[in-house]
Amino acid sequence: MIVTPLPIAGAAIVDTRRIEDQRGAFARLFCADALAPVLGDRRIVQANHSHTREVGALRGLHFQLAPHAEMKLVRCLAGRVWDVMVDLRAGSPTFLWWHAEELSAENARMMVIPEGCAQVHHDVPY
């Protein structure tokens, strides 16, 4: 895993390495050691799976206020999405900054979205 911090504090892009052979492919979904520089003393406490039936659908803006704020590790398992985070943390030096990435099953890229940031994704038609 290659973890690249983003300008939004606590946010990062995670590139995974796929190992492929005649049987199929293998890629790591989570590695606490690789994510430690971004996670710090925070921990991932929940994993969710979302499935969108309609191509081109827009899902979001999702975020939780304290004390229920959540950090997210987002990945696209099938197809591709345009995933956007927006910093909604009042007082943050990056307040209202946004970052977007194409996440796809093919690129196996993940995005770490810190607490207090909203997240939306748009299913991208092929």
In tens, the pLDDT along 25-75 reads: 888 888 889 989 888 888 777 777 777 777 777 787 888 888 888 899 999
Task: Specify the pLDDT at position 126.
Answer: 64
Of the candidates 110, 80, 84, which has an alpha carbon nearest to the alpha carbon of residue 97? 84
**All structural domains of the chain with their residue ranges:** 2-123
Q: How far apart are CA 126 and CA 106, in angstroms?
A: 12
CATH number for the region 2-123 comes to 2.60.120.10
Give residue 7's pLDDT band: very low, low, confident or very high (50, 70, 90): very high
Q: How deeply is 43 buried, as exposed, middle or buried, from its count of CB atoms within 10 A (0-12, 13-18, 19+)?
A: exposed
Q: CA triplet 6, 12, 14: central angle to 5 degrees?
A: 135
In tens, the pLDDT along 81-101 reads: 999 999 999 999 999 999 999
3-state secondary structure of 34: helix
